[in-house]
């Protein structure tokens, strides 16, 4: 790796590590920014809500991917987000599964009386790419790298499955407006379960959006084996704490391998506006007793919500469940992105 000597190059290096952008693009984007501007644009309000719903629905995928959530790189802008997927990234353990099939499950549908997917989400094909928007609201997510024909085929298969299961797809019944099953999720004021969920998600959408925009940063933690996520009520019960569980295989059996990730997550130039409020570290325990490590972080400005990242590491026989029978394991190990020495952090005390 070529040593980056100028401040501009080192800022571009951070952008590349956090988003997975190609070096030339990261350098170009950094040149377009003022010297003290944040490298990752914070999403506007409705854009952040869309991204929060996306993460909530996609955070526990039904397929195994090599990259965290199958996201190879991100292109974050205030009013839009592009996520780059690769179908080859999917570990094909189940015939017929694909990234396109997984992503079509994000479209809103009603199963056994329960709305699933992203409320109000509809898709369009623009310049050969699939774009998700919520009806009548600003913001968009482009599903880059997903072949349009694969998407349409997956959607057709999904329709067949849903029809046989008596599941209603909202976008087919109400393509240009919110279906009656989706409308409760527009409100934050009503005294309903849907309104409360929407209120909590909206209050802490900045956390989910920030983590989604920085998903490739998880590749700085050894070999990614499996990444999931879910929500709990935050400590003040006025938003969600997002739990990200990143199971990885350390390439070097050394303590504090997760501190570089934390350093970039909290970096003033490329990180989230959070303070680390707690760290449970099991790196110094004997290998048989290691349970992984956890980092807890909350807003620096008092905003609702927070994030807990769990670094659940697997070595040796414990990693076999994630590696046995999977093609391309060598390629999976190459996903690890080691930080250059000048970006590494001293362990938190």
Q: What is the mean pLDDT of each run of 10 residues along the chain (349 residues)?
A: 80 96 97 95 97 96 89 97 86 70 94 91 97 97 96 92 85 92 88 90 96 96 92 86 93 72 94 93 73 90 94 81 73 86 62
Task: Assess contact for 199 and 270: CB atoms under 8 A.
Answer: no
Residue whose tokens read 């997975």 = 20
Instruction: Please report the pLDDT score of residue 142 as a whole number.
Output: 98
Instruction: Please report the pLDDT score of residue 86 as a whole number.
Output: 86
Instruction: Please report the pLDDT score of residue 89 as a whole number.
Output: 74
- Three-state SS string over the chain comes to CCCCCCHHHHHHHHHHHHHCCCHHHHHHHHHHCCCCCCCCCCCCHHHHHHHHHHHHHHCCCCCEECCHHHEEEEEEECCEEEEEECHHHEECCCCCCCHHHHHHCCCCEEECCEEECCCCEEEEEECCEEEEEECCCCCCEEEECCCHHHHHHHHHHHHHHHHHCCCEEHHHHCCCCCCCCCHHHHCCCCCCHHHHHHHHHHHCHHHHHHHHHCHHHHHHCCEEEEEEEEEEECCCCCCEEEEEEEEEECCCCCCCCCHHHHHHHCCCCCCCCEEEEEEECCCCCCHHHCCCEEEEEEECCCCCCEEEEEEEECCHHHHHHHHCCCCCHHHHHCCCCCCCHHHCCCCCC
Task: Assess contact for 187 and 198: CB atoms under 8 A.
Answer: yes
Find all residues with CB under 8 Å of 138, minimum gap 6, and list them. Answer: 44, 46, 47, 79
| Dist. CA 53–CA 6, nearest whole Å | 38
Burial degree of 297 (CB within 10 A; 0-12, 13-18, 19+): buried
| Dist. CA 250–CA 234, nearest whole Å | 30
* Beta bridge mates, 109: 116, 169
| Dist. CA 246–CA 296, nearest whole Å | 14
């Amino acid at each position: 790796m070529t040593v980056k000597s100028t401040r501009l190059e080192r800022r571009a290096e951070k952008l590349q590590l956090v988003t997975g952008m190609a070096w030339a693009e990261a350098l170009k984007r950094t040149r377009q920014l003022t010297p003290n501007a944040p490298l990752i644009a914070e999403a506007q309000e409705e854009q952040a809500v869309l991204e929060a719903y996306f993460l909530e629905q996609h955070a526990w995928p039904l397929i195994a991917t090599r990259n965290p959530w199958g996201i190879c790189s991100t292109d974050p802008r205030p009013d839009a987000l592009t996520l780059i997927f690769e179908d080859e990234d999917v570990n094909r353990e189940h015939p017929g599964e694909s990234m396109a099939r997984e992503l079509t499950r994000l479209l809103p549908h009603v199963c056994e009386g329960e709305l699933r997917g992203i409320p109000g989400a509809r898709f369009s094909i623009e310049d050969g790419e699939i774009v998700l928007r919520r009806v009548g609201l600003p913001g968009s997510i482009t599903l880059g790298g997903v072949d349009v024909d694969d998407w349409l085929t997956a959607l057709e298969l999904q329709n067949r499955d849903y029809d046989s299961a008596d599941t209603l797809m909202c976008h087919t019944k109400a393509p240009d407006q919110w279906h009656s099953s989706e409308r409760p999720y527009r409100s934050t004021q009503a005294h309903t379960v849907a309104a409360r969920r929407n209120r909590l998600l909206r209050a802490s959408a900045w956390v989910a959006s920030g983590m989604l925009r920085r998903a490739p940063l998880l590749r700085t933690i050894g070999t990614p084996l499996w990444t999931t996520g879910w929500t709990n009520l935050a400590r003040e019960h006025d938003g969600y704490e997002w739990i990200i569980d990143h199971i990885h295989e350390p390439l070097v059996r050394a303590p504090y391998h997760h501190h570089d990730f934390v350093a970039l997550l909290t970096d003033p130039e490329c990180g989230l506006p959070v303070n680390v409020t707690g760290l449970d570290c099991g790196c110094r325990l004997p290998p048989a007793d290691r349970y992984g490590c956890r980092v807890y972080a909350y807003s620096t400005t008092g905003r609702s919500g927070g994030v807990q990242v769990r670094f659940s590491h697997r070595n040796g026989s414990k990693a076999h469940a994630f590696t046995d029978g999977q093609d391309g394991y060598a390629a999976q190990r190459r996903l690890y992105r080691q930080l250059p020495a000048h970006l590494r952090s001293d362990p938190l005390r």
